[in-house]
Amino acid sequence: PSNPLSDHQTSSIDITVCYLLPPDTSSIDITPKGKRPPVLVDGVTLNGPTLDIREAESFLREAMPIVMEEAVWKATDVKEKVCEWRSPEQLKDLLDLELREGGEAHPQILQRCRDAIRYSVKTGHPLFFNQLYAGMDPYSLVGRFITEAINPSLYTYEVAPVFLLTEEAVLKKMIEIIGWQDGGDGIFSPGGSVSNMYAVNVARYHHCPDVKVLGLSALPRLVMFTSQECHYSVSKAAAFLGIGTNNVYVIPSDKRYAGYCWLLLVTGALPFMVNATAGTTVLGAFDPLEEIADICERHNLWMHVDACWGGGALMSKKHRYLLQGIHRANSVAWNPHKMLMAGLQCCAFMVRDKTNLLQRCHSAQASYLFQQDKFYDVSYDTGDKSIQCSRKPDAFKFWLMWKAIGTKGLEERVDRALAMARYLAEEIKKRDGFRLVMEPEYTNVCFWYIPPSLRDTADGPEFWRKVHAVAPVVKERMMKEGSMMVGYQPHGDKANFFRQIIISPQVSREDMDFLLDQIHSLGMDL
Amino acid sequence: PSNPLSDHQTSSIDITVCYLLPPDTSSIDITPKGKRPPVLVDGVTLNGPTLDIREAESFLREAMPIVMEEAVWKATDVKEKVCEWRSPEQLKDLLDLELREGGEAHPQILQRCRDAIRYSVKTGHPLFFNQLYAGMDPYSLVGRFITEAINPSLYTYEVAPVFLLTEEAVLKKMIEIIGWQDGGDGIFSPGGSVSNMYAVNVARYHHCPDVKVLGLSALPRLVMFTSQECHYSVSKAAAFLGIGTNNVYVIPSDKRYAGYCWLLLVTGALPFMVNATAGTTVLGAFDPLEEIADICERHNLWMHVDACWGGGALMSKKHRYLLQGIHRANSVAWNPHKMLMAGLQCCAFMVRDKTNLLQRCHSAQASYLFQQDKFYDVSYDTGDKSIQCSRKPDAFKFWLMWKAIGTKGLEERVDRALAMARYLAEEIKKRDGFRLVMEPEYTNVCFWYIPPSLRDTADGPEFWRKVHAVAPVVKERMMKEGSMMVGYQPHGDKANFFRQIIISPQVSREDMDFLLDQIHSLGMDL
């Protein structure tokens, strides 16, 4: 794969450009296109490309069937394993990670592809329930293959026309679905955490536009509010943006926001935003958005809704009541890569503002990129709204999938996932040894498994201490078997419980039954 | 593509789980696997998957040849066009962007794939010279297809074992190449801009660990230094992280840092870092790193090197002198997606620190993700070092490419790109009507084209005003023809000039000659 010509160079000639043959000689023509003589610069022969396109083609022709067979079909086949567990130490040996001076031949690289796939967790497998994303959508996948091949970056219309326009179209539709009648603005970001950072930044800029130039040291102490069950990225955002985690006031679920605001106003700090969560990470719970909107309006606070996970419910006429009031938010983060299966990453950050707030807050007007003397309407060069420079075309795969299955198809998937969660919750209630943590609001079904040995023990610290130890062992056995993957965690004062997440239309009711059977069979001896 | 069963539901039954057939009946078995009777919940029939895997397979089998033919082979063929220009208004019509209630059939979606590819700029084309990335590497591309199919997220070893280990291996090698003998730490981030933000955050945390919890309002005013030619993300970082753009002191290229540090120490602000640039965006210039390191050591300033673009030269024994002194930096940002062609995005942020600074500075210890009672060594769960939660496996494609062509292959590509830039610069000097802006230090070749009508005009404001108008017109014609893409920009007090970037081994010396011929033929009438 490396340049064969350069091996023949024994000396280098600095700076001087050296014609190996007189310019008028055309008898040796190694590159038919230009009919120019070979040139040697700095010890490197420059004529013709050194990437052998035939070799590249033969590699791709051999590699693609492996990708399709192993990473697409087998990886989504319910009869195959979800994971092939190896410890870090074992896997390091198996993968031969070291990067060396010389390259490797194609058969060896193809084997590396097979190994990488084999030992990877199959997140598109119907029995992968471990995170807030899952499944494989074929339209999105093709969209992603296209963008990886095209390799665009979304700074300007000039280099990414199709991908900027599809991003605009997707944002417009998502904004419509949120219910912002007058429209809004938005940008795709590399993750919900970054979207929440955007929210903090636009909220404080909205309150104190001087912050961009003068920084926080010129302002009073800023404080923000969030509900207790918020994602940890709210705290990461506060640290990263210089607010400080102590200035994030966490409101217990049963308290009112109003009192806190008042308290802060009289103690000299400046409250500027409330982060509400629509679809919490562990429990899948929804903050009361109408009530929070009332408080934000009354106290002039920016209302941000982290709907990264719960935003999917907006697609469903039946379930969108969960986010009742979201149209009153000032900003919304919503990740279609989660419930809507657009593939990582696909994360929209949207603002109701129509005064070009994103641009004003984030722009740096790089003259080499955002030239104003271009020959087209440069309002399509939206890259300066972003905190990034290079930016991946994350909206396109979602656009293509949406085109293929329609709004109705997305709605049916969401409705089915919620119905499936309901089914699982009812099954849990029926079965001995399973106990729901709470009635699911969304598709997080949280439950304990109580092995037979503990079923006669009375509730109490000793019981919960033992229950706490069950999930880690069941999870270990599950992964070593490779049969499925489901997450567990402690939560507040609650002992470790399983969190089953349902998303994909590949999942069937039989899989729910299998899940419970499997947990029982893995943990019944504990 | 949507669930055909749900069309037949006319009423919904809330919460109640309803068996359509008695549980013991097995005469109608729509899902052979589980042999369980159909279940209706909330109006949705739950048995069996609703994603038709055969339909998905047939779509992928039809789509993949289009992707390979149009987005890989034609898109990298020098005989094809680089772009098929359409104005935003025209393209909106052509793409039919609107997202509707109903989905579309496969032939229509396949046509949308073809259109998206057709109207996209081919950044892997040998004549795409418009940005600081270019080219197509077949190994990286296969790596990206694998990761898109597997769809991992890099929080924990449990869900991304292969991708966390390959990231670790790549970082280890890059750190070795930087020259940090005792090792270091690092993380891949979604872009060089984000890497520079990481630098600002760890630098200030290193100086003032209280900032994470208390925020900037509890600290003295922090100020940072950067050289004049730095990337605009330094200013975006200062705004986003609450430092304020006014607190970024820009040092003109001919001034010393020392005086400024002293000045600031006596005026009450706290200087905490210097951002040095190795490979500036427009000119490809390198700051004197040894000199900056001396100043940073003397004044206890964090030294960050933005080597996003210039880092590639570290692979070359011949050219790494450009970054002499980088081993003295406290942190380095280096994007292998640029000069090393790993594909967007591939951006490493690395620190020399060995005290777990990244973790301490960024962690939020989410208990649902980073459980401490797991059955493996949780030090491999590196996700909490990141400001992101979901994170793409950006290192894997680079690892696979590196395995395939070896360190030597990467070195040869870099050496050849620099030799090619040298050739182009010498050609420019030889040709009438072309004028170099400066001798290239790297592979940015910056030059003016002077049309014949201006060649007898004396240098002066009138001359430069006219020259300034040339590049935008040539660029417009170039794009409308689709023959190639090269960037232009004004810079400081300099009139618009072309910036030719050379990266890919697909590029030949003939392409350099074509570039100059083409610019002349497009601009000779101006």
In degrees, rounded to 5, the angle at the alpha carbon of residue A206 between the alpha carbons of residues A201 and A207 is 105
Domain count within chain A: 2
Kindly report, residue by residue over A507-522, the tens digit of the pLDDT: 999 999 999 999 999 9
Residues A311, A429: one domain? no
Token pair in block for residue A223: 């404080």
Does the CB of A349 have a partner CB in chain B at under 8 Å? no
Nearest CA-CA distance, residue B436 and chain A, Å: 15
pLDDT for A399-422, tens place per residue?
A: 999 999 999 999 999 999 999 999
Find tokens 């609650």 and name the residue: A494
Exposure letters B188-216 (e unless 16+ CB within 10 A, then b): bbbbbbbbbbbbbbbbbbbbbeebbebbb
- What residues does A488 pair with on adjacent strands? A498
Whether residues B382 and B427 share a domain: the answer is no
A161 part of contact set with chain B, CB < 8 Å: yes
Q: Find which of A20, A59, A62, A120 to mutate to test the B interface (most B CBs within 10 Å of its CB).
A: A120
Looking at residue B32, what is its pLDDT? 45
Mean pLDDT, rounded, for A238-257: 86
Whether B213 is covered by a domain: the verdict is yes
Does B14 map to a domain?
no
Per-residue pLDDT band for B366 (boundaries 50, 70, 90) equals confident
Using a CB–CB cutoff of 8 Å, tell me whether A378 touches chain B.
no
Residue B60 lies in a domain: no
**Burial of A74 by CB count in 10 Å (0-12 exposed, 13-18 middle, 19+ buried)?**
middle
State phi, psi for B468 to the nearest 5 degrees.
-55, -35
% residues pLDDT > 90 (chain B) = 82
In a domain, A10, yes or no: no
Do A250 and A172 fall within a single domain? yes
How is residue B106 written in tokens? 């496969």
The pLDDT-based confidence of A223 (bands split at 50, 70, 90) is very high
**Same-domain status, A355 and A239:** yes
Q: Write down the pLDDT at residue A259.
A: 66
Work out the minimum CA distance from A310 to partner chain B, whole angstroms: 16
For B:429-468, CB contacts with A below 8 A are: none
User: For residue B504, what pLDDT is reported?
Assistant: 95
Tell me which of B392, B427, B443 is where a domain ends. Answer: B392
B47 pLDDT band (50/70/90 cuts)? confident
What confidence tens digit (pLDDT) does each residue in A295-336 have? Answer: 999 999 999 999 999 999 999 999 999 999 999 999 999 999
DSSP one-letter string for A305-362 = EE-TTGGGGGG-TTTGGGGTTGGG-SEEEE-TTSTT---S--EEEEE---S-HHHHHH
Q: Is A98 left (phi over 0), alpha (psi -120 to 50) or beta?
A: beta
Smallest Cα–Cα separation from A148: which of B393, B54, B362?
B393
Amino acid identity at B293: A
Q: How many residues does chain A have?
A: 526
If asked whether residues A465 and A333 sit together in one domain, one would say no
Strands (E) across A178-285 are located at 185-189, 222-227, 248-251, 270-277
State whether B423 and A232 contact (CB < 8 Å). no
Is residue A360 domain-shared with residue A425, that is, in the same domain?
A: no
| Contact residues, A window 139-158, toward B, CB-based 8 Å cutoff | 139, 141-142, 144-146, 148-153, 157-158
Pair (B209, B287) in one structural domain: yes
Q: Is B477 on the interface with A (CB under 8 A)?
A: no
B146 closest CB neighbour out of A39, A67, A165: A67
- The residue range of the domain holding A240 is 153-366+375-392
Give the pLDDT confidence score for residue B43 in this predicted structure.
Answer: 87
Whether residue A239 is predicted with pLDDT greater than 90 in this model: the reply is yes
The reported pTM is 0.93
Using CA atoms, how far apart are residues B273 and B203, in angstroms rounded to an integer? Answer: 6
Closest CA to B401 of B37, B218, B138, B167: B138
* Cβ-nearest to B405 among A2, A169, A335: A2
Domain with B439 in it: what CATH number? 3.90.1150.170
Residues 78-97 of chain A with CB under 8 A from chain B are 78, 86-88, 91-92, 95, 97
Average pLDDT for residues B395-409, to the nearest whole number? 98
Task: Examine the fold and report which residue of A358, A392, A426 is the final residue of a domain before the chain moves on.
Answer: A392
Residue A351's pLDDT is 98
**Do B313 and B339 belong to one domain?**
yes
Count of A–B CB contacts within 8 Å?
653
pLDDT in tens, B201-232: 999 999 999 999 999 999 999 999 998 889 99
> How far, in Å, CA of B43 to CA of B18, rounded?
10
Residue B37 located in a structural domain: no
Which tokens go with B514?
């074509």
The pLDDT tens digits of the residues spanning B384-394 come to: 999 999 999 99
Predicted confidence band of residue B263 (pLDDT cuts 50, 70, 90): low
**Chain centre to alpha carbon of residue B519:** 28
Does B76 reach chain A within 8 Å, measured CB to CB? yes
* Mean pLDDT across A414-442: 97
Closest CA to A82 of A488, A509, A489, A482: A482
Same domain, A213 and A352: yes
Residue of B nearest to A48 (CA): B508
Domain boundary at B357, B392, B427, which?
B392
B113, B241, B408 member nearest A241 (Cβ): B241
**Alpha-helix runs per DSSP H in A431-508:** 461-468, 470-481
A430: closest CA of chain B, how far (Å): 12
Domain CATH for A289:
3.40.640.10
Q: Which of residues 20-39 of A touch B (CB under 8 A)?
A: 31, 33-34, 36, 39
Closest B-chain CA to A403: B103
A195 belongs to a structural domain = yes
> Which residues, listed in sequence order, are joined to residue B17 by a DSSP beta bridge?
B41
Is the domain of A386 the same as that of A433? no
- Same domain, yes or no, for A234 and A358? yes
B242 — contact with chain A (CB < 8 Å)?
Answer: yes
Query: Percent of chain B at pLDDT above 70?
Result: 90
Over the stretch B274-323, which tens digit does the pLDDT of each residue have? 999 999 999 999 999 999 999 999 989 999 999 999 999 999 999 999 99
Same domain, B276 and B411: no
Nearest Cα residue in chain A from B482: A158
Question: Which of A152, A387, A513 is closest, CB to CB, to B34?
Answer: A513
